[in-house]
C-alpha cells in the first residue's frame, strides 16, 4: 500500500511539473515590433526585415511560414509572408524576421512608408497564421484575427 502511495505521489509530482511548464507557454508574448528596413522590389511589393521583441519564459521553439494581412479599418492594406526565426529559451530578445509584402489595391508605397515610419497606426489590425515547432519536431499552426497593432507599440 505504501508503494502505491509513493508511486502515485511521484506521478502527481511529475504531472504537476510538466503542467507548470505548459502554463508558462501562455506567458510568451510579443512585446514590440518594428521595421528594420524596407526595399521596394516593384511598384507594388517590398522585401523587409521586421524586428520582433519576444519575451519567452519557457523552452526554445521555431516560428515559420508566417502569412497574414495588415488591415486599416477592416480593409486590407498589405499581404505579407515571412521566413523563419528561432526563439531562444528563457530570453527576452529582439529577433529579425525577413519577409516580403504585396500592397493591396488602393494602397500606395507612401501609405506603407507611413506605417513603417511609425507615424500612422490608426485603425490598424493584423490577421496572421504561423507555424510553431519545438526542437522535438512537434508543432502546430496558430491563427490570429483582428489583432490591434497598437498593442505592440512602444
CB-based burial of residue 128 (10 Å sphere; 0-12 exposed, 13-18 middle, 19+ buried)? middle
The answer to whether residue 19 scores a pLDDT higher than 80 is: no
Q: What is the pTM for the complete model shown?
A: 0.74
Among 135, 129, 131, residue whose Cα is nearest residue 147: 129
Q: Report the Cα 53 to chain-centroid distance in Å.
A: 9
In the prediction, which pLDDT does 6 show? Answer: 41
Average pLDDT value over all residues in the chain = 81
The answer to whether residue 9 scores a pLDDT higher than 70 is: no
Alpha helices in the chain (DSSP H): 2-25, 109-116
Q: What percent of the chain has pLDDT over 70?
A: 80
CATH of segment(s) 28-152 = 2.60.40
Q: What percent of the chain has pLDDT over 90?
A: 41
Look at phi and psi of residue 149 and say left if phi exceeds 0, alpha if psi is from -120 to 50, else beta: alpha
Question: How many other CB atoms sit within 10 Å of the CB of residue 104?
Answer: 17
The answer to whether residue 100 scores a pLDDT higher than 90 is: yes
Question: What's the grid cell of residue 137?
Answer: 519536431
Higher pLDDT, 119 or 130: 130
Give the start-to-end residue ranges of the domains of the chain: 28-152
In the prediction, which pLDDT does 117 show? Answer: 76
CB-based burial of residue 49 (10 Å sphere; 0-12 exposed, 13-18 middle, 19+ buried)? middle
Higher pLDDT, 109 or 101: 101
Residues 2-19 have a mean pLDDT of: 44
∠ at Cα 151 (150, 153), nearest 5°? 60
Amino acid at each position: 500500500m505504501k508503494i502505491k502511495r509513493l508511486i502515485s505521489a511521484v506521478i502527481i509530482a511529475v504531472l504537476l511539473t510538466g503542467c507548470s511548464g505548459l502554463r508558462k507557454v501562455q506567458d510568451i508574448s510579443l512585446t514590440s515590433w518594428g521595421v528594420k528596413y524596407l526595399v521596394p522590389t516593384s511598384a507594388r511589393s517590398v522585401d523587409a526585415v521586421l524586428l520582433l521583441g519576444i519575451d519567452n519564459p519557457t523552452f526554445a521553439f521555431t516560428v515559420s511560414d508566417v502569412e497574414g494581412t495588415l488591415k486599416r479599418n477592416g480593409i486590407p492594406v498589405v499581404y505579407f509572408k515571412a521566413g523563419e526565426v528561432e526563439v531562444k529559451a528563457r530570453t527576452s530578445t529582439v529577433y529579425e524576421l525577413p519577409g516580403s509584402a504585396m500592397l493591396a489595391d488602393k494602397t500606395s508605397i507612401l501609405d506603407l512608408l507611413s506605417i513603417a515610419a511609425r507615424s500612422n497606426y490608426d485603425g490598424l489590425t493584423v490577421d496572421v497564421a504561423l507555424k510553431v515547432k519545438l526542437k522535438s519536431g512537434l508543432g502546430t499552426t496558430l491563427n490570429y484575427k483582428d489583432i490591434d497593432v497598437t498593442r505592440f507599440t512602444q
